[in-house]
Amino acid sequence: MKFILGTKLGMTQVFRDDGTVVPVTRVAAGPCVVTQVKNAGKNGVNAVQIGFGTQKLFRVPKAQQGHLKGLATVRFMRDFRTLGEEHGLKHGDTFTVRVFAPGEKVQVVGTSKGKGFQGVVKRHGFHGHPASHGHKDQQRMPGSIGATTPQRVFKGKRMAGHMGDARVTVKNLEVVGVKPEENELLIKGAVPGARGGLLLISTQEGTITVEQTAEEKGQTEKVISDQVIGDQTGAGHEAALGKEEKKESAVEEKEKSNE
CATH number at residue 28: 2.40.30.10
- 194 & 224 share domain: no
Q: Is residue 51 part of a domain?
A: yes
Cβ contact 205:1 at 8 Å: yes
- 257 & 168 share domain: no
Question: Residue 72: CA atoms inside 13 Å, Cβ hemisphere, count?
Answer: 18
- Out of 169, 184, 210, a domain closes at 210
Q: Is residue 243 part of a domain?
A: yes
Domain total in the chain:
2
- 38 & 166 share domain: yes
- Name the least confident of 26-35, 72-81, 148-157, 226-235: 226-235
pTM for the whole structure:
0.76
Q: Which residues contact 160 (CB under 8 A, 6 or more apart)?
A: 117, 118, 119, 120, 123, 142
- Other Cβ atoms less than 10 A from the Cβ of 56: the count is 8
- 230 & 176 share domain: no
- 180 & 233 share domain: no
- 235 & 182 share domain: no
Q: Which residues contact 13 (CB under 8 A, 6 or more apart)?
A: 21, 22, 23, 24
Give dist(CA 34, CA 104) in Å, integer.
Answer: 23
- 84 & 206 share domain: yes
Using left for φ > 0, alpha for ψ between -120 and 50, and beta otherwise, residue 207 falls in: beta
Give dist(CA 37, CA 89) in Å, integer.
Answer: 8
Average pLDDT over residues 90-101: 91
Cβ contact 205:214 at 8 Å: no
| CA distance readout (Å), 111 to 6, 190, 204 | 13, 13, 21
- 163 & 186 share domain: yes
Q: What is the chain's Cα-based Rg?
A: 30
Cβ contact 51:17 at 8 Å: no
Give dist(CA 134, CA 137) in Å, integer.
Answer: 10
The residue segments making up the domain with residue 39 are 2-128+158-210
pLDDT digits (tens, 9 = 90+) for 196-221: 999 999 998 877 778 766 666 655 45
Q: Is residue 137 part of a domain?
A: no
- 202 & 232 share domain: no
Would you state the pLDDT for residue 225?
45
Average pLDDT over residues 47-52: 93
Task: Determine the residue type at 213.
Answer: T
Q: Is residue 258 part of a domain?
A: yes
* Element of type H or E holding 225: helix 214-258
Q: In the chain, at which residue ranges do the beta strands (DSSP E only) sit?
A: 2-15, 21-29, 32-38, 47-52, 76-81, 94-95, 105-111, 116-118, 161-163, 167-179, 184-188, 198-203
| Secondary structure of residue 223 in the 3-state scheme | helix
pLDDT digits (tens, 9 = 90+) for 105-143: 999 999 999 999 999 999 999 999 988 888 888 889 999
User: Does residue 80 surpass a pLDDT of 80?
Assistant: yes
